[in-house]
Amino acid sequence: MSGGSAWQGNWKVRLHERVRELGYDSLTAFANARPAVPLLALADELGEDDVAGVQVLSELLAEAERSHQVTRLMRDVLVRELSECLPDGWPAVLDDANRFKVAMALGSWAAFAPETHEQRADQVSDALLATPPPPGWRPLGPDDELLLTLLPDEEV
């Protein structure tokens, strides 16, 4: 684990430089080429020592706001969080331990939601817990059918 060098210097400049070095013209394009890959892994690919997952998230959000695709990004990030916290897919039985795992994934995702999307994020988690997806459900990207139903695009 890094000694905190992710926060030294101008991290935004560093992050976008790395994206360009890898041949992408935006961070979103870089992320889109890696659907369902957790934020931690995206950050490590951009800079194992000096790029943090939350920085990737925050810049993805900035790009999504500019292109009016925040809702899509929210689905995209939920997919990444589920892949991080529930690598084997949605649990078959929601016992206490599994319920915590799900809660941790949804909580982590909700914490990423910008103010404009907080309420919708809460509704999505409530819906997922009230009517659980089939066991083993593992969305592969922001265009997952169930997620599109729960969190459809509104923006134009």
Partner 1 sequence: MTSTQWVLLAMALLSTGCASLPSQGRGMNLRYTQHEATTPALADVAEAAGGALPRDAARPVQPGLAQTRQALLGAILHVSASTRRLSSELSRLEASKAGIAGPPTIFIPFVHEGLEHLRWIDAELAAATRLAHTASEVEDPDMQRALLRLAGPRLQSALLGSMLLAAWVDFLHLADVVLERCPYYSVERLFIRMHRLQRLMEPSMKALASLEPGQVEAAAKDLPALMGHLTGEFHSTREEVRTAAERYEQMWVVKDLIDLLTTASVMKVALPRLAASAVPATLGVDLVAGSDGVMMGTRVVVSAEWVETMRQLVRAGVLSLPAVSAAVRIEAGQVLLAEAHDELPKGVREALGDGPEVRAMRVTDRAGAGMAEPPEHHVLPREFREWFEQRGFTGEMSIDQFCVRMQRADHEAIHGGGDWRMGRKWPGEWNRMIMKALHKAETDAGRMLTPSEVLKVVAYRMRLYKLPMNFTPWRGP
Binding site for partner 1 (CB under 8 A): 1-8, 10-12, 39-40, 43, 49-55, 57-58, 61, 84-85, 99-100, 102-104, 106-108, 110-112, 114, 122, 125, 129
Nearer to partner 1, 23 or 97 (CB): 97
Contact status, residue 142 vs residue 35, Cβ threshold 8 Å: yes
- CB of residue 112 vs partner 1: minimum separation in angstroms? 7
Nearer to partner 1, 61 or 151 (CB): 61
End-to-end CA distance of the chain: 41
Nearer to partner 1, 3 or 23 (CB): 3
Contact status, residue 47 vs residue 55, Cβ threshold 8 Å: no
H/E segment holding residue 143: none
- CB of residue 34 vs partner 1: minimum separation in angstroms? 17
CA distance 61 to 138: 23
